[in-house]
Amino acid sequence: MKVTVLYFAMLREASGKDLETLNLDDPSLTALYENLAQRYGFKLPADAIRPAINDRFGQWQTSLQDGDTVAFIPPVAGG
Partner 1 sequence: MRFALTNQTIQLEPPFAIAPSVGGIVSFEGRVRNLNEGQSVVRLAYSAYEALAVSEGSRIVDEAIARFGLVEAASIHRIGDLAIGDVAVRVWVAAAHRGEAFAACQWIIDEVKASVPIWKHETYTDGQKEWVVGSGPG
Rounded Cα gap, residues 47 and 21, in angstroms: 24
The nearer residue to partner 1, 63 or 75, going by C-beta atoms, is 75
CB of residue 79 to partner 1, shortest distance in Å:
4
3-state secondary structure the chain: CEEEEECCHHHHHHHCCCEEEEECCCCEHHHHHHHHHHHHCCCCCHHHCEEEECCEECCCCCECCCCCEEEEECCCCCC
CB of residue 51 to partner 1, shortest distance in Å:
11
The nearer residue to partner 1, 13 or 26, going by C-beta atoms, is 13
Residues that bind partner 1 (CB under 8 A): 6, 8-10, 13, 52, 55-57, 71, 73-79
The nearer residue to partner 1, 26 or 67, going by C-beta atoms, is 67
